[in-house]
Structure 1
């Protein structure tokens, strides 16, 4: 495959399906994205229907190469989404689109691949530590679910490892979080970090705080809770977003000490850029580093929030090109 050949790339989660045509260029990302389009997953009965809907809008031929980054459980040919009823039969889609080469990867494998190419002006640093360039880097982020991937350096470049770390069991650290865990155990057992650190998870935290405060609980979507918190129009919404960020710090720190990710931590996904002020004021960093006798283990680890919406799309393009070289 020539580096100049276009690649059909997609970042498909439980809420949005983002598509683009990636063409290699000399910029810092290595690719430029063309014909970008975001579709709502709920508007389509299946993923192949959404893919075909995007391809029908193109004024150029469908590329012969494609890489789809999915928030889905891995399979040999059939992929089942974690937070959606969708499935993808890779052989069927490859045949229907007339593709020569097609790759299906986990969404946070693509996110980890693309994180390295995000420009500095699209990074917001929570901690500018020096880190350890020989150690792994961690990429994590809440969306419809909670994703986590690793960038592991080696003698011949780096290796990307996708995980299901968001499905680790939630461990509360405050009395209030213990009460929230008790409430959530009435409907979920076990309670996972993803049940709190995701769009639906933010709703869970907000509703639990309303119950604990004996306050009326409005029917709010995640983006409405975030907006109310940012505008200081609802105390429970602000407390929910604050707790969301605090718990995220614990989760990120747990993942970093478990994987030895002293090379750096990238925070990704579509939720966090909408709550940056509260994130910066939260206990994220204190909870990130609070590891008992290993308090200093993570103190020098750089932590940054990726503000680009195209990280996984760029990462998918690199994964496709690397496979065919």
Structure 2
């Protein structure tokens, strides 16, 4: 398949859709804009809004890659945590595209890893990482607490990178101590299945906070708090329930990340994407995340050798979508 330039690349989550353009071979993603998903009827409408903001003489895209926060199977696509429901073939026709690739958002996030440079990452121990330089056969993993919780992996194969998409965010969440067992028990009064996403995401933070408050039993009413308010009150110390929620969030995220690293054999590194963790700042790096990442009994030594790093560039998945087009073209 030959993907004609210019390329349109998109990273579509439950809340925001990020768009960018690749002008030609080897070019970086440029002209990036972020549009709210809820403000547009579907991807075609959002693309038109994005293109309308560019100069009139700008060439229309001829190929596109959409990274979408959902499982993909067939022509019909529905966002897991968003309102868009659309036909892949009809969208390609409506936009006049020669090529349209649709991939899971964490397939694109995984493919972004070999494109990342040191200034787009903050490693746990401060070491400078170079994901693109891992040896052939090495697996790297990425998780991302955003609106939902994404999980993916990428393997370096001879001459290319192979993404391993999945829906690991919907796997059952495990407690790491008695307090977390009580928090999960409280959540199960509301939800029969408590997945990792049910706590470790934007839609999950309010559930986690309500459950933590119930276990603390101090009478604090957190029922109306949005995720951004939970983070702000937790960081400021204004709310005991919100502060403890951030501690539990980081610890359980570490345990979950360790599970993913073990499952994929991710010796090349575990990378944290999404929009929530960067908002925590130093609180994340002072948390129980890394200790819980390694706390896997006989395999603690295995995990101790796996680096962990925060992806500080929230637009990184766009380069992964571009790599998907590049590799489809090779």
User: What TM-score does the superposition give when structure 2 sets the normalisation length?
Assistant: 0.91
Secondary structure (helix, strand or coil) at the match of 1:32 reads coil
Aligned Cα RMSD in Å?
2.1
**Selected match of 2:254 from 249, 253, 261:** 249
**Selected match of 1:51 from 47, 50, 53:** 47
Q: 1:114 to 1:23 in 2, by over 3 A?
A: farther
Select between 308-317 and 41-50 the one with higher mean Cα deviation. Answer: 41-50
The residue aligned with 1:217 is 221
CA distance in 2, matches of 1:160, 1:272: 23
2:37 aligned with 1:41: yes
Q: Is the 8 A contact 1:249 1:285 kept in 2?
A: yes
The residue aligned with 2:320 is 315
CA distance in 2, matches of 1:156, 1:37: 31
CA distance in 2, matches of 1:317, 1:23: 11
The residue aligned with 2:16 is 16
The residue aligned with 2:114 is 116
Deviations 1:28-51 (A, max 9, x none): xx5423222111112223333222
Deviations 1:178-213 (A, max 9, x none): 111111112212211110110111111111122222
The residue aligned with 1:182 is 185
Structure 2: which 5+ residue stretches go unaligned?
Answer: none
CA distance in 1, matches of 2:106, 2:24: 21
**Selected match of 2:286 from 281, 285, 288:** 281
Q: 1:4 to 1:31 in 2, by over 3 A?
A: farther
CA distance in 2, matches of 1:38, 1:55: 12
The residue aligned with 2:274 is 269
**Count of residues paired in the alignment:** 321
Select between 170-179 and 8-17 the one with higher mean Cα deviation. Answer: 170-179
Secondary structure (helix, strand or coil) at the match of 1:296 reads helix
The residue aligned with 1:67 is 65
The residue aligned with 1:103 is 101
Q: 1:10 to 1:156 in 2, by over 3 A?
A: same
2:201 aligned with 1:203: no
CA distance in 2, matches of 1:65, 1:293: 48
Deviation at 1:229, TM superposition (A): 2.0
Structure 1: which 5+ residue stretches go unaligned?
Answer: none
**Selected match of 1:80 from 61, 78, 81:** 78
Deviation at 1:232, TM superposition (A): 2.4
Q: Is the 8 A contact 1:129 1:301 kept in 2?
A: no
**Selected match of 2:303 from 298, 306, 318:** 298
**Selected match of 2:141 from 129, 138, 142:** 138
Q: Is the 8 A contact 2:3 2:98 kept in 1?
A: no
Deviation at 1:4, TM superposition (A): 8.8
Secondary structure (helix, strand or coil) at the match of 2:203 reads helix
CA distance in 2, matches of 1:290, 1:144: 27
Q: 1:22 to 1:290 in 2, by over 3 A?
A: same
